[in-house]
Amino acid sequence: MDEFGRPGESVPAVNPADLKILWDDNHNLEAEHPTGAAAAMNVWKNLFSPNVDIVAVAYRCRVLSQLEMFWVGGEPSKDVFEAAARMSLIRPQVGVVRKGLPFDFEQLYVEVLKNKRGFAP
């Protein structure tokens, strides 16, 4: 088991609001400390909804951040956070070389397009 859970296990769905909170907090931290900074997971406990799976929220936020290179300007819309909060995710196996993203991009894209809002300018 690593800091993001057991490899090969499904990552539980999370509250999209918690995912957005962590996304914003991470971006604020980066803006305040451009040379790098980190926050311990237990620091976020008071920010999230009760009984949150902080590990799942952190992992989903990390995965979503891999998509940042694909949009220009703006922030992910509410629809993106909702889709990313519930999309199917499996924690990667140790020592297994993965090709591509750690999730089904097409599935995420379809979920986002259901509301036709995608990435907000």
| % of the chain residues with pLDDT over 90 | 18
What pLDDT score does 115 carry? Answer: 62
What pLDDT score does 40 carry? Answer: 66
Q: Mean pLDDT for the chain?
A: 79
Write b or e for each residue in 82-109: b if 16 or more Cβ atoms lie within 10 A of its Cβ, otherwise e: bbbbbbebebeeeeeeeeeeebeeeebe
| % of the chain residues with pLDDT over 70 | 83
Q: Which among 22, 4, 14, 18 has a CA at the least distance from the CA of 85? A: 14
What pLDDT score does 121 carry? Answer: 42
What pLDDT score does 34 carry? Answer: 75
Following DSSP, what letter does each residue of the chain receive, concatenated?
-BTTB-TTSBPPP--HHHHHHHHHHHHHHHHH-TT-----GGGGGGTSPTT--HHHHHHHHHHHHTTGGGS-SSEE-HHHHHHHHHS-BBPPPTT----S-SB-HHHHHHHHHTTT--EE-
What pLDDT score does 3 carry? Answer: 56
Q: Which among 88, 91, 87 has a CA at the least distance from the CA of 112? A: 87
pLDDT at 120 over 70: no
Residue-wise pLDDT tens digits, 8-64? 788 999 999 999 999 998 888 878 877 776 776 667 777 888 888 988 998 899 888
User: What tokens were used for 54?
Assistant: 């902080």
